[in-house]
Amino acid sequence: MESTESLEQDAKDTWAHSLAPNSLEDPYGPTEAVIEGCPSLFLSPASFANLDDSRMWVATRFEPIREIFQNTERYSSKCVYPYFRALGIDLTAIPIQLDPPEHTVYRKFLEPWFSPKAVMALEPRIRANIDRLIDGFADKGECDAAHDFGRIYPVKVFMELMGFPEERFEDFLSWSHCMHFELDDQERYLWGARSALDYVRSYIEDVRKAPPDETVASRIVHGEIDGRKLTDDEIAGTVFFLWDGGMDTVAATSSLIFRRLALDPELQQLLRDNPERMANAVEEFLRMNPTVNTVRVAKVDHELEGQQIRAGDRLLCLVASGNFDPDKYENPREFRLDRSHNRHMTFVAGPHRCLGINLARFELRIALSEFLRRIPAFRMKPGAECVATPGLLGAPKVPIEWDLSA
From the list 27, 64, 95, 322, which residue makes contact with ligand HEM (rule: CB under 6 A)? 95
**Rounded Cα distance, 143 and 130, in Å:** 14
| Secondary structure element (H or E) that encloses residue 384, with its range | none
Minimum distance from residue 333 beta carbon to ligand HEM (Å): 19
Residues between 287 and 316 with contacts to ligand HEM, criterion CB under 6 A: 291-292, 294
Of 110 and 384, CB closest to ligand HEM: 110
Residue 110-149 contact track with ligand HEM, rule CB under 6 A, x = bound: ----------------------------------------
**Residue count (the chain):** 406
Residue 232-251 contact track with ligand HEM, rule CB under 6 A, x = bound: ---------xx--xx--xx-
Nearest in space to 128 (alpha carbons), one of 147, 150, 156, 148: 156
Of 92 and 249, CB closest to ligand HEM: 249
Those residues whose C-beta lies under 8 Å from the C-beta of residue 52, and which sit 6 or more positions away, are: none
Of 349 and 387, CB closest to ligand HEM: 349
Q: Residues of 215-234 as b/e, b for ≥16 C-beta within 10 angstroms?
A: bbbbbbbbeeeeeeebeeeb
Preceding omega of 265 cis (within 30 degrees of 0):
no
* Residue 19 binds to ligand HEM (criterion: CB under 6 A): no
Q: Is 31 exposed, middle or buried (0-12, 13-18, 19+ CB in 10 A)?
A: buried
Residues between 340 and 399 with contacts to ligand HEM, criterion CB under 6 A: 346-348, 352, 354-356, 359-360
From residue 6, how far is each of 31, 34, 212, 235 by CA, in Å?
20, 16, 59, 47
Of 355 and 366, CB closest to ligand HEM: 355
Minimum distance from residue 49 beta carbon to ligand HEM (Å): 13
Q: How many residues bind ligand HEM (CB under 6 A)?
A: 25
Describe the crossing of helices 232-245 and 102-110 by its angle, rounded to 10 degrees: 70
Of 151 and 352, CB closest to ligand HEM: 352
Of 5 and 214, CB closest to ligand HEM: 214
The residues of the shown chain that bind ligand HEM, judged by CB under 6 A, are 77, 80, 95-96, 107, 158, 241-242, 245-246, 249-250, 253, 291-292, 294, 346-348, 352, 354-356, 359-360
